[in-house]
């Protein structure tokens, strides 16, 4: 088949038209192989160019995404598949893993620390959020357990900042307990935080209902 037209379509792509079809190819592939009107290609050659272009584009897109923020391996893979297919997406991810640009453990440590410090998540809630990003559950549980932040102190900070009136009545206390449980705090951690807060309030001369 003969190439009839090569036209720029996107920033990194050319539309290459032959006598039978039109395909989008990466600009570097077009230039590297000297594709221009009049060049003859076999069906096998064109297919090889399409695969090479797809792989190049997937890698470029993955690198661009990583330049904007960190990704878990599975999260990035799922982001690439709709545009480039499983094979090209997997190859791009494998290359980035080999280069050290993708690392699930490092991502999980960073993301868990961020969630713990900014959203005050702990335990089950941390594991849930990590697995949502594609982190293996066993690794997510390990990372959540490694965090050195004191869960009681963290829960107490939430009580002071967001639920200062939690000791006014039983309904307010239940609302607080539910909120902390949804953030991943265990029963003992919640009870300890509430007890410390109760003692603080009593020391300040503020009343609190008795459970």
Measure the CA–CA gap between 77 and 90, rounded to whole angstroms: 7
Residues 127, 141 contacting (CB under 8 angstroms): yes
The pLDDT, as a whole number, for residue 209 is 53
The pLDDT, as a whole number, for residue 198 is 85
Q: How would you write the pLDDT of the chain (211 residues) with one tens digit per residue?
A: 899 999 998 778 899 999 889 999 999 999 999 999 999 999 999 999 999 999 999 999 999 999 999 999 999 999 999 999 999 999 999 999 999 999 999 999 999 999 988 888 888 889 999 999 999 999 999 999 887 568 888 888 888 888 888 888 888 888 999 988 888 888 888 888 888 888 888 877 665 555 5
The pLDDT, as a whole number, for residue 83 is 92
Helix (H) or strand (E) holding 150: none
The residues near 58 (Cβ < 8 Å, ≥ 6 apart) are 80, 83, 84, 88, 89, 91, 92
Place of tokens 């004191």: 150
The pLDDT, as a whole number, for residue 37 is 94
Residues 193, 159 contacting (CB under 8 angstroms): yes
Q: Which of 126, 131, 123, 175 is nearest to 152 (CA)?
A: 123
* pTM of model > 0.75: no
């Amino acid at each position: 088949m003969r190439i009839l037209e090569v036209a720029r379509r996107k920033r990194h792509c050319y539309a290459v038209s032959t006598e039978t079809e039109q395909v989008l190819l990466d600009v570097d592939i077009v230039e590297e192989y000297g594709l221009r009107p009049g060049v003859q290609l076999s069906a096998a050659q064109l297919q090889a160019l399409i695969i090479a272009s797809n792989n190049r584009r997937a890698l470029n897109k993955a690198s661009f995404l990583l330049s904007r923020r960190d990704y878990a391996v599975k999260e990035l893979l799922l982001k690439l598949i709709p545009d480039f297919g499983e094979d090209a997406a997997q190859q791009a991810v494998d290359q980035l893993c080999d280069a050290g640009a993708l690392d699930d453990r490092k991502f999980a440590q960073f993301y868990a620390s961020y969630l713990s410090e900014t959203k005050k998540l702990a335990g089950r809630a941390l594991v849930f959020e990590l697995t949502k990003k594609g982190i293996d559950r066993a690794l997510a549980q390990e990372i959540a357990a490694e965090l050195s932040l004191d869960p009681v102190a963290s829960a107490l900070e939430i009580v002071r900042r967001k639920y200062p009136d939690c000791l006014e009545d039983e309904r307010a206390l239940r609302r607080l307990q539910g909120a902390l449980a949804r953030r991943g705090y265990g029963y003992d951690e919640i009870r300890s935080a509430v007890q410390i807060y109760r003692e603080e309030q009593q020391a300040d001369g503020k009343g609190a209902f008795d459970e």
